[in-house]
């Protein structure tokens, strides 16, 4: 029902959502007194610090794109916890394995991609630039990254807060050098 | 007793007939629907004079829609991005100056409904209308 037509694209995939402003605020940081070229250079430094490979850039438009392969562990979802409890109830000697699995979480081999986009802040009277980061990941079923399992947008506020913290530090370090 | 010869002949004829049903890889590239109709969905004439400024608004709009920008080329006037949100949409937007303070903007996109699905071109008008509505809004806000 969510799919419109035979193209398979969900209705509203290219429509602005009510959460657009909230996401924009989360993904954007303003830097006063820093030129766009310096901000781009500092962003590049952060990407490299984090182990990202730069896939492309267009400095005239303030764009840098990078990706990184990594493996993380996520906590179990409630349905996964229930399923493990059910297995343990049926086969009690599986309890230690279920407990270990619950503590360890679920392994997620993935590729994270992000783009950093800078632009001059024309709304301010003083010289300032805006940086906006958008990020996403493809989670795979295996470490060889051959079978994709899910496509996700990264909208965790902590991710963006940490990125901008590192970018501020990078801007500071570039100014000192 | 001699076996009749018509059976192998019939199989050979059938195979020869079916061989024409496939599409050669080179020809498949050109196997798109109505080109004129598709262009009309995908294109819009929009006001603008500064190419780089216009491209920055396109990038900002795509970010508002949840895209990560894959590539951008200021000289060629193109921006390509990918959106992942359970599904995948990959879209390219290209600008062409038309004179008289206007740009012809053309967008074309492909989607995958899930990671295991094949990518298909988006040929319905709806998603393009949504994109241009968002872009027009962003252009208006950038100009005022």
Check if the beta carbon of residue B120 is closer than 8 Å to that of residue B108: no
Range in B28-32, B106-110, B124-128 the model is least confident about: B28-32
Do the domain assignments include residue A69? yes
CATH number for B35-143: choose from 1.10.620.20, 3.30.530.50, 3.30.470.10, 3.90.960.10.
3.30.530.50
* Domain assignments of chain B as residue spans, ordered by start: 35-143
When scoring A4, A7, A14 by the number of chain B Cβ atoms within 10 A, the one with the most, hence best to mutate, is A14
Do the domain assignments include residue A70? yes
Q: Are strands A63-74 and A53-58 parallel, antiparallel or unpaired?
A: antiparallel
Mean pLDDT score across all residues of chain B: 87
Residues from chain B contacting residue A62 (CB–CB below 8 Å): 56
**Collapsing DSSP states into helix, strand and coil, what is residue A123?**
coil
Q: What is the rounded distance in angstroms from the CA atom of residue B83 to the CA atom of residue B111?
A: 9
Sequence-distant (≥ 6) Cβ neighbours of residue A149 within 8 angstroms: A139, A140, A141, B115
Residues in chain B, overall count: 144
**ipTM exceeding 0.90, yes/no:** no
Q: What is the rounded distance in angstroms from the CA atom of residue A41 to the CA atom of residue A34?
A: 11
Give how far A96 is from chain B: nearest CA, Å: 34
B87 pLDDT band, cuts 50/70/90, is very high
* Buried-state track A137-166, b at ≥16 Cβ within 10 A, e below 16: bbbbeeeeeeebbebbbbbeeebbeebbeb
End-to-end Cα separation, chain A, in angstroms:
57
Domain total for chain A?
A: 1
**pLDDT beyond 80 at A9:** no
pTM of the model: 0.84
Q: Are strands B43-47 and B102-112 parallel, antiparallel or unpaired?
A: antiparallel
Q: Which domain holds residue A113?
A: 28-74+108-176
Check if the beta carbon of residue A64 is closer than 8 Å to that of residue A44: yes
**Collapsing DSSP states into helix, strand and coil, what is residue A144?**
coil
B19 versus A61: the higher-pLDDT residue is A61
Distances (CA, A) of B76 to A34, A147, B50: 28, 34, 14
Do the domain assignments include residue A85? no
> What average pLDDT score do residues B121-128 get?
93
The reply to whether residue A117 touches residue B69, judged by beta carbons under 8 angstroms, is yes
Q: What is the rounded distance in angstroms from the CA atom of residue A62 to the CA atom of residue A73?
A: 33
Identify the contact set of chain A against chain B, taking CB-CB distances under 8 A: 3-16, 20, 23-24, 27, 55-56, 58, 60-63, 65, 113-115, 117, 119, 132, 134-138, 147-153
**Collapsing DSSP states into helix, strand and coil, what is residue B109?**
strand
Q: Which run of H or of E encompasses A172?
A: helix A157-176
Q: What is the CATH number of the domain that holds A51?
A: 3.30.310.80
pLDDT single digits (tens) A23-40: 999 999 999 999 999 999
A5 pLDDT band, cuts 50/70/90, is very low
Does B1 contact A at CB distance below 8 Å? no
Q: What is the rounded distance in angstroms from the CA atom of residue A49 to the CA atom of residue A74?
A: 23
What are A147's two structure tokens?
């079978």
């Amino acid at each position: 029902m969510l799919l419109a037509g035979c193209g398979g694209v969900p209705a509203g995939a290219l429509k602005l959502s009510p959460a657009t402003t909230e996401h924009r605020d989360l993904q954007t940081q303003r830097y006063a007194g820093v030129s766009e070229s310096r901000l781009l250079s500092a962003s590049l430094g952060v990407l490299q610090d984090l182990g990202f490979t730069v896939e492309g850039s267009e400095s005239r438009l303030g764009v840098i794109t990078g990706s990184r392969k990594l493996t993380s562990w996520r906590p179990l979802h409630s349905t996964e916890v229930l399923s493990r409890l059910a297995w343990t109830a049926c086969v009690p000697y599986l309890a230690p394995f279920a407990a270990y699995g619950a503590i360890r979480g679920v392994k997620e081999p993935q590729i994270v991609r992000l783009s950093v986009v800078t632009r001059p802040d024309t709304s301010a009277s003083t010289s300032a630039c805006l940086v906006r980061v958008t990020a996403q990941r493809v989670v795979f079923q295996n470490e060889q990254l051959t079978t994709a399992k899910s496509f996700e947008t990264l909208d965790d506020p902590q991710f963006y807060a940490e990125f901008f913290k590192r970018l501020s530090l990078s801007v500071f370090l570039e100014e000192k050098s | 007793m001699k076996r009749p010869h018509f059976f192998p002949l019939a199989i050979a004829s059938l195979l020869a007939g079916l061989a024409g049903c496939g599409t050669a890889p080179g020809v498949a590239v050109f196997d798109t629907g109505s080109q004129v109709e598709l262009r009309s969905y995908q294109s819009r004439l929009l006001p603008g004079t500064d190419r780089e400024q216009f491209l920055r608004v396109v990038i900002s709009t795509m970010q508002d829609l949840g895209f990560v920008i894959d590539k951008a080329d200021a000289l060629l006037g193109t921006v390509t991005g990918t959106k992942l949100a359970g599904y995948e949409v990959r879209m390219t937007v290209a600008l062409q100056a038309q004179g008289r303070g206007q740009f012809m903007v053309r967008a074309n996109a492909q989607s995958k409904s899930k990671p295991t699905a094949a990518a298909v071109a988006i040929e319905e008008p709806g998603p393009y209308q949504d994109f241009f509505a968002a872009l027009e809004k962003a252009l208006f806000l950038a100009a005022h």
